[in-house]
Amino acid sequence: MHEISVVNNLIRILETVCKENKAKKVIKINIRINPYSCLDEGNLNFVFSVLTKGKEIYKGTRIELKRDGKPDDREYIVENIEIEV
């Protein structure tokens, strides 16, 4: 269930970024997570694909995770969003 909350927050961020940049497609989202985060790349990608089904702008979008930082860092930080304009 935690992944659903993370993906919903991510979609809100993406909607703002896409609107501001007049994006046609979201290609990839790079997220840095702390070493002890329970987030899983496969689960996030699955939840993302389910929650964005039918939205052409997100078709084929990949979420990539990188474990980094200290255990007391935020659970996740969106580092980079690749879009097509």
- Report d(CA 37, CA 84) in Å as an integer: 30
Total number of domains in the chain: 1
The CATH number given to whatever domain includes residue 63 is 3.30.2320.50
pLDDT at residue number 18: 94
Domain hosting residue 64, numbered range: 2-84
Interior CA angle at 81 toward 5 and 62, to 5°? 65
pLDDT tens, per residue, the chain with 85 residues: 588 999 999 999 999 999 999 999 999 999 998 888 888 999 999 999 999 999 999 999 999 999 887 777 777 888 899 999 8
Residue 82 β-bridge partners? 28
